[in-house]
Amino acid sequence: MICPWNRGSSNLHEPIRRAYWVALDEAADPAAAERRRCDLVQASSSATTRAAACLAEDLPALCVHRRYARRLRKRLRSSNLLERSLEEVRRRTKVIGRFPGETSCLSLCWAVLDLVVGGARGLGLTDLERHELAVLRAERAAMPAPDRMIA
């Protein structure tokens, strides 16, 4: 999904981004988060229709991180190993220009992934948080499989 604050007028980016994370992070429960997100969509629809459409596109997926322990929410919603890895590969390939073969490309990608994973910090879960994650895993295992694959 494209970041909603990257759509529309540049002078509105920061207020939309700030309101977006406040709506998602500071709600007391999922129902409050849903109300805040709907309010944000309505408020931004008057200023930037494209940003509002982007926010409204998949509202439930934006709150998946709220199921986890409060202490971990910000870290889980914003740490995206794949995104950082792709950015690092992109940065390094600018210097190279063109790869002589598949092996050199794969070795660069592997080196970047190894570097990113090696530098990743653990979450430092407490026993209560481990229990909450076990409950979430059990709930997810009990859910029916999706009808189609999402790429």
Among 22, 98, 20, 30, residue whose Cα is nearest residue 64? 30
Between CA 92 and CA 90 the distance in angstroms is 6
The tens digit of pLDDT for each residue in 77-131 reads: 655 666 677 777 778 777 777 778 888 888 887 777 777 666 656 667 788 888 8
| pLDDT for residue 140 is more than 70 | yes
Are 51 and 43 contacting, i.e. CB atoms less than 8 angstroms apart? no
The tens digit of pLDDT for each residue in 56-70 reads: 776 667 767 667 777
Structure tokens at 85: 């890895």
pLDDT the model gives residue 151 = 44
Residue 150: pLDDT band (50, 70, 90) is low
20 vs 118, which has greater pLDDT? 20
Segments making up each domain of the chain, as ranges: 4-67, 80-144
